[in-house]
Structure 1
């Protein structure tokens, strides 16, 4: 990816600066009103009771991300309509919705009408939403500019990096921000799953509404339901007043269920109800409350394996796994480490009220070679320690955590393995600005050993001018 990492405009696609456009074609006016009411948020919805009228819209130049058509309609059936629609709008994803399903009809719809999904009536709203969201993402992936040409909005700046995997991740977050689908983030601890969820919320139409994070392991089984869904006075011992749960607090916005793999099996059915029906009940109350919330989940666990072990519901896993993004470990994106270091040091300089905090070349090389089992989180904590202990605003190897320093001698040897001993000593001395004590520490030897080796190698004090 060429050019600067941070941008201020938006992605250039056929949906530039617009909501995804949906076209529903059905002779059932009541159904069309229901669909319009269901999909108005986050989409531009148009409806037609006649396939002939819908074709006129397409002939006038209107284009759609998804076209949903009934099968049996006056003047023209759904297969013929979608075949003609495909000729006018090749990019639109086409869905057939019918009350009369049979294998021959389905095959005709797929072969002749280019239909990607064939759904039977009555189709639950939740199922239709998931299918349409999937189709919108498919449409955006096919019609968007290549990742190298994407121009990002400001919140995506927070995902720092130039590696291919980070460029693709930012592009996918931008695209998923335009649809209201449930998203599951997976990856090792410290890879940035919570940050990804915050960025996804920030680039979505819900960005002006609350973003609520729930740390699932911190909630005991006894208070889990009350914390998530709220409770009424007297619902349990200690419930002296009505309480608003996290879902009510996130109304209109997004909720992150962090480490969802740790949710007790007994409580998973309640989460499934919220995801499927978009409704819940407070503890001690029978009144149903509608949930206008985007659900984002994150985990470092293998949910598929938990399903096999009977520790996670299969139906809940499928509901959460509508859109799945795996965040890479830091060891697989080492080229991003220098940029991450700079970003973190800029933050720490502001935090410590310092003009700037720098890092020595040897210390940076060590960071680039370390395996980072704790990923980006461990990197930041290491730099925070270094910024606290460093002298004159420069982090050196000796300022880094012991876990890194334990391998420092090996790392330095590897770094200088192509050099003669004299070249190695000179490189370390220059990197330490000819401070002998500091150079000795970074080389993993005593100061007296350094002086002896300098004498043996014929290194003079006046070489500091070179």
Structure 2
């Protein structure tokens, strides 16, 4: 109720006091922090930097899902919720929307539960048969099994049976097309991952975080951000990651480019 009152009439000073009070409540333990996480997230999305800092200090794994869009908020709330259960879960989103990152976040957040095993196994639908059989035979008991780009069928049936036999939590990433039909009967819960084109307002924070991971501080200018905001992003987060890789690891310069830069530096000296 206090959060709703502040959101109706936001005051920075009162907001900081509210965050401090919630932070003190979070000192009671991990369960309390998970309960308070969505409230802190609402304050962060309202533009309170202290709330954003507190949320990501409590749950660093959520920083893969920075942003103030409705889509980013729904994903963070869903990850906090589903990380506290052992239920199998379907991660639904377009190609490149962050299935693997979401599964990894669930796994990391799940360590807050003492009964969780730290084991983490990743399988791909395109994995060679001999490799798949070896992975299933060595599947640790009570672990966390993530299947990327899976589709219903006999092959996945063996994966699901192995998860049941070893009491592993099964997380499956798939596209919206594959989530229909047979998947609806197999999974009782699903978390939707929004495409990047529906999170355009998150681009500055997403880019800033990715640059920081490469040791580069700061962000892009308004002109560059406007250019990126006008892009359709068919490859979603994977496409953004590819762009950042090009930025931080540029192709080798040609002799002419090296000579030109050297001359410019020499003339400026």
Alpha carbons of structure 1 residues 335 and 210: separation in structure 2 relative to 1, 3 Å: same
Look up the SS of the partner of 1:337 in the other structure: helix
Look up the SS of the partner of 1:218 in the other structure: coil
Question: Which TM-score applies when normalising by structure 2?
Answer: 0.67
Which has more radius of gyration?
1
Query: 1:267 Cα shift?
Result: 2.2
Contact 1:209-1:252 within 8 A present in 2 as well:
no
Counting matched residue pairs gives 216
Instruction: Identify the match of residue 175 of structure 2 among 300, 306, 310.
Output: 300
The aligned residue for residue 370 of structure 1 is 231
Contact 1:330-1:372 within 8 A present in 2 as well:
yes
Q: How does 1:378-389 map to 2 (within 5 A)?
A: 378-389=239-250
The aligned residue for residue 90 of structure 1 is none
Query: 1:268 Cα shift?
Result: 3.3
Q: How does 1:184-333 map to 2 (within 5 A)?
A: 184-204=90-110, 205=113, 209-220=118-129, 223=130, 226-230=133-137, 245=138, 247-248=139-140, 251-261=141-151, 265-274=153-162, 278-279=164-165, 291-305=166-180, 307=181, 314=182, 317-319=184-186, 321-333=187-199
Contact 1:357-1:387 within 8 A present in 2 as well:
no
Q: Which structure carries more helix by proportion? A: 2
Q: Which structure carries more strand by proportion? A: 1
Q: RMSD of the alignment, in Å?
A: 3.5
Alpha carbons of structure 1 residues 172 and 184: separation in structure 2 relative to 1, 3 Å: same
Structure 1: segments with no counterpart, 5+ residues: 20-139, 231-244, 280-290, 308-313, 391-466
The aligned residue for residue 265 of structure 2 is none
Structure 2: distance between partners of 1:383 and 1:347:
10
Alpha carbons of structure 1 residues 338 and 145: separation in structure 2 relative to 1, 3 Å: closer
Structure 2: segments with no counterpart, 5+ residues: 1-6, 45-54, 252-269
Alpha carbons of structure 1 residues 18 and 389: separation in structure 2 relative to 1, 3 Å: closer
Alpha carbons of structure 1 residues 266 and 326: separation in structure 2 relative to 1, 3 Å: same
Alpha carbons of structure 1 residues 210 and 273: separation in structure 2 relative to 1, 3 Å: closer
Instruction: Identify the match of residue 344 of structure 1 among 210, 223, 229.
Output: 210
Contact 1:201-1:207 within 8 A present in 2 as well:
no
